[in-house]
Amino acid sequence: MKRITTTGLLCILITASASWAADNAGTSGAVFLKIGVGARAVGMGEAQVAVPEGADSLYWNPAGLTNLGIKDISFTHNEWIDDIRYEYVGASIPLFWNSAVGLSYSQLTMGELEGRDAQGRPTTNFSAGDKLFTVGWGMRPFDMLQAGATFKYISSNIADDNAKAYAGDFGVIFRPPLKGVSVGFAVHNVGTEIKFVDEGDPLPLTYRIGGGYTLPFGGRTHKVTVAVDGVKGNDTDFYVNTGAEYWLVNMVAVRAGYKARYDSAGATAGGGFRYLFSGTYGVQVDYAYADMGTFGATHRVSVAALLGAGL
C-alpha cells in the first residue's frame, strides 16, 4: 500500500502522464488522455495518425475506423509507470456506405492509497482513477478521403473529489494517387474544462499530422509500413514520432519506433502474431515495449478478435 497525500497524488498523476513532454507551455487536466493505446501503435513509436487500424483508431484518428473493413474487438492491458495500470477495450463495426462505428472504454487505476496530511500523519485510505467512454464514427466518402469524429465522456476521481468533462476528436486521412501513401491529420480533446472542487483546467488539446507508406511485396508474403507523426499539445512543445512495421505472411509482425525530442521517452519495440481460424475469423496478439527514461520501461499487451470476410 502506498503512502501519499492527495496533493502528492495530483503531482504524480500530472508528472507521470505528461512524462513524454520535455517542457510545458501551459497546464492541462485529465492528462491520462495522453497515454497511447494499442500495442501495435506503441511499438511503432506512436506514429499512427495516417495508419491507424480498427478500434484503436478511436484514439489515434477516428477516420481510420474504415481501414480494416471488418469487425474487431480489441483489449489492451498497460503496465505503466509507478504501478499504475491502464486498460482499454474497444470495438469497431463496418456499416453501410463505406462507414463504421466504434465504441471504447478506458480506465486508469492506482489501487488503494494511504493518505497523509501535510505533516505526514496518516489519514483515511483513498482511491484515485480515471475513466473514459468514447463513441466514434468514420467514413470513406471517396477513395482518396476518409473522415471521422468521436464524442468522449471523461470522469476522474481522487478520494471523495470527482470531476467530469466532455470532448470530441476530429480527423481525416488523405490518400493521394500514389500507391501505399497516406497523410493524416487529427485534433484531440476539444471540449470542456475538467474541474476538481473550484479549480478547472483545460483538457490536453493535441494536434497530430503525419504520413505513412505501406508496401506489400512477394504477393501476400511481406508487407512493410513506415510512418512519421508530428505532435503538438496545448501544454507541450512540438514532438516527432517515427515507426515501422513488418508483416510476414500476414501472421507474424515485428515493429520498432522512436519518439524524438522527448526528455522521458525514446525507443519502442514490439511484435505480433495473427492466427486465422478461417477466412472470416481470427485472433491477433501484440506486445509493445516503450522506454520512459528515468521512469523506466512500460509494457503493453493487446488481444483483438477479428471478424469479417477476406481476412
What are the boundaries of each domain within the chain? 2-307
pLDDT of residue 34: 92
Q: Which amino acid is at 170?
A: F
pLDDT of residue 121: 65
Condensed to tens digits (0 to 9), the pLDDT of residues 125-183 reads: 667 789 999 999 999 999 899 999 999 999 998 877 889 999 999 999 999 999 999 99
Residue 82 has pLDDT above 80, yes or no: no
Residues in CB range of 181: below 8 A, 6 or more apart: 175, 211, 212, 213
Diameter of the chain by CA atoms? 68
Kindly report the average pLDDT of the chain as a whole number: 86
Residue 212 has pLDDT above 50, yes or no: yes
Condensed to tens digits (0 to 9), the pLDDT of residues 219-274 reads: 779 999 999 999 999 988 899 999 999 999 989 999 999 998 776 678 999 999 99
In CATH terms, the superfamily for domain 2-307 is: monomeric porin ompg (2.40.160.40)
Q: What percent of the chain has pLDDT over 70?
A: 84
pTM of the model: 0.86
Which is more confidently placed, 84 or 262?
A: 84
Residue 5 has pLDDT above 60, yes or no: no
